């Protein structure tokens, strides 16, 4: 289970939410990506609610973060590592699930990326921010690379297990190197404010 719920807490700096709000943000950050994937491929009810452990774990994580303030700051290096590992796991497993539902390769990549980044997007929207993943950092691109490797391996009929491991390592490594070297994508140039 991805620790995105912990990262959700950092978002609270400008938005005071109550205990229930923390639990909702925690659940959303952990499951919204896979939940949207399952709705899109027609796998209702989504695994995120049909398996009660997917509900319980983010709730417990949210309670922990709520009752032990400062835990995210103290464990911030571990949080970054677990978040990158979760991104890799989600992107790879999301792509695999989309492939088993016979979607085209482009859609499988898209759903793998959505599984990886969807939770963070919903979390940011709930606290009224433009999702971080749209603005900066090599985050989506790392999940894109992992998802593309899974699709390519499936297309070449390579054995799934080593392909998944390679894809996950690529995503994980790319994310960590991007943090370490502070890599970013180019930013859109805004239109000049003076309308001609």
Fill in the per-residue mask, 29 to 68: x = in contact with its own copies (CB under 8 A), - = not in contact.
------x---xxxx-xxx--xxxx--xx---------x--
Identify the residue among 110, 163, 171, 178 touching its own copies (CB under 8 A).
110
173 binds its own copies (CB under 8 A): no
Among residue numbers 113 through 172, which ones bind its own copies (CB under 8 A)? 121, 125-131, 133-136, 140-141
Q: Name the residue nearer to its own copies (CB basis): 139 or 172.
A: 139
99 binds its own copies (CB under 8 A): no
Q: Name the residue nearer to its own copies (CB basis): 73 or 165.
A: 73
**DSSP string of 31-62, one letter each residue:** HHHHHHHHHHHT-PSPHHHHSHHHHHHHHHHH
185 binds its own copies (CB under 8 A): yes
Q: Are 170 and 146 in contact (CB under 8 A)?
A: yes
Tell me how far, at minimum, the Cβ of 83 lies from its own copies, in Å: 16
CA–CA gap between residue 169 and residue 135 (Å, rounded): 24
Q: Name the residue nearer to its own copies (CB basis): 81 or 141.
A: 141
**What would the 3-class secondary structure string for 113-154 be?**
HHHHHHHHHHHHHHCCCCCHHHHCCCCHHHHHHHHHHHHHHH
Tell me how far, at minimum, the Cβ of 146 lies from its own copies, in Å: 15
Instruction: Give CA angle at 123 (77, 120), nearest 5°.
Output: 55
Identify the residue among 77, 159, 182, 186 touching its own copies (CB under 8 A).
186
Instruction: Give CA angle at 34 (140, 104), nearest 5°.
Output: 75
3-state secondary structure at position 165:
helix
> Hey, how many other C-beta atoms are within 10 angstroms of the C-beta on 46?
18
- Using CB under 8 A as the criterion, which residues of the chain lie in contact with its own copies when the complex forms? 9-10, 12-22, 24-25, 35, 39-42, 44-46, 49-52, 55-56, 66, 69-70, 72-73, 101, 103-107, 110-111, 121, 125-131, 133-136, 140-141, 184-191, 193, 195-196
């Amino acid at each position: 289970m991805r620790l995105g719920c912990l990262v959700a807490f950092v978002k609270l700096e400008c938005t005071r939410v109550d205990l229930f709000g923390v639990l909702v943000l925690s659940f959303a950050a952990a499951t919204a990506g896979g939940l949207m994937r399952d709705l899109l491929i027609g796998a209702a009810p989504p695994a995120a609610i049909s398996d009660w452990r997917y509900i319980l774990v983010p709730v417990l994580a949210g309670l922990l973060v709520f009752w032990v303030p400062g835990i995210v700051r103290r464990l911030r290096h571990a949080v970054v590592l677990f978040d990158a590992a979760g991104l890799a796991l989600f992107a790879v497993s999301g792509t695999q699930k989309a492939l088993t539902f016979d979607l085209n390769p482009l859609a499988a990549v898209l759903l793998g990326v959505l599984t990886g980044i969807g939770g963070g997007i919903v979390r940011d929207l709930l606290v009224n921010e433009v999702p971080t993943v749209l603005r900066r950092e090599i985050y989506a691109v790392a999940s894109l690379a992992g998802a593309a490797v899974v699709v390519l391996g499936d297309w070449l009929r390579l054995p799934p297990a080593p392909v998944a491991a390679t894809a996950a390592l690529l995503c994980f490594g790319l994310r960590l190197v991007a943090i370490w070297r502070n890599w970013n994508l180019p930013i859109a140039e805004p239109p000049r404010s003076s309308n001609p």
